[in-house]
Amino acid sequence: MKAVSWASGIRRFGRAAGAAFDALVPVACVGCRRGVEPAGAPLCGICRSRLPRLPSPRCARCAQPLGNLAAAAGEAVRCGTCESWPEFLVAADAPFAFEGLAGRTVRALKYDRWSALAPYMAGCMEAAVKAVSVRLGGGDAACLVPVPLAPARLRERGFNQAEALARALADRGLGPLGLVLERRPGGGRQAGLRGALRRANVQGRFRPRPGFEADGRAAILVDDVLTTGATAVACAEALAEAGFRYVATVSFARTLRPLDGDLSPTRALRP
């Protein structure tokens, strides 16, 4: 029995060591599993070209693709689904649609812990960060605030994928990293929940870290995926409580949602 336990322990150690090595230096493309250069991008050139770009035209506020609904009204319209967002949450953007290869890339970072993906994903998000920075006033660089994980989830995963992305964006000189928020224990996973259930699940779950005061600065909330916006709204409310006057959110991918055909004219989103 001891020999069996010893052998089982060796196998577990080997799997863990292999996973740790792959997390630092993926030896295969995330998309097609072909070999990639250790110092290069963790996706091969063909797969990088197949990442599903978020289509245009989009909502002027939350970047929801509008499809044919915007044809008659022009591109400078809002989709209506973000009308319930607080006014200080002024913009959202993402480079990709959360489907296909973009979805697999997010899951590889989040669940498979391929940490080498974070700098590459941040590079893809750079243009979106610059775009929302203009909406925030374009002055001093906005604070890059990762969406925090619940303590139990952080222990389970061992790292916060949103923080990895925010750090990589800060390393690119796009703004200072701000570990401003913390998440209260409780609440379940957002995955699989819809609409009002997602909002209820995160309502009041985020708060500023004790003693933090923003002194009127702007913040860019960083996450891997924007789905309904429920998490972004809850975090933005906590950032407003901390003293941030304006908040935007940037993610690697955005979930495509059905529209009800109610488009609103664009109006000023900040004074």
Q: Are strands 96-97 and 246-254 parallel, antiparallel or unpaired?
A: parallel
Q: Look at residues 97, 50, 85, 122 and name the one whose alpha carbon lies nearest to residue 253.
A: 97
The per-residue pLDDT for 221 is 98
Q: Look at residues 17, 23, 187 and name the one whose alpha carbon lies nearest to residue 110.
A: 23
Domain residue spans of the chain: 51-265
Q: Look at residues 236, 228, 152, 154 and name the one whose alpha carbon lies nearest to residue 193.
A: 228
The per-residue pLDDT for 224 is 97
Q: Are 169 and 125 in contact (CB under 8 A)?
A: yes
Domain 51-265 has CATH 3.40.50: yes
Contacts by 53-57 with C-beta closer than 8 Å and gap 24+?
A: 53/95, 53/96, 53/97, 54/94, 54/95, 54/96, 54/97, 54/253, 54/254, 55/97
The per-residue pLDDT for 193 is 44
pTM: 0.81
Q: Are 263 and 73 in contact (CB under 8 A)?
A: yes
Q: What residue type is 261 in one-letter code?
A: G
Q: Which residues of the chain have pLDDT under 70?
A: 1-27, 69-76, 186-204, 259-271
The per-residue pLDDT for 215 is 72
Q: Are 29 and 36 in contact (CB under 8 A)?
A: yes
Alpha-carbon gap, residue 199 to 74, rounded angstroms: 31
Q: Are 241 and 208 in contact (CB under 8 A)?
A: yes
The per-residue pLDDT for 19 is 53
Q: Are strands 77-78 and 206-208 parallel, antiparallel or unpaired?
A: unpaired
For the chain, the first-to-last Cα distance in angstroms comes to 72
If DSSP states are collapsed to H, E and C, what string results for 138-203?
A: CCCCCEEEECCCCHHHHHHHCCCHHHHHHHHHHHCCCCCECCCEEECCCCCCCCCCCHHHHHHHHC
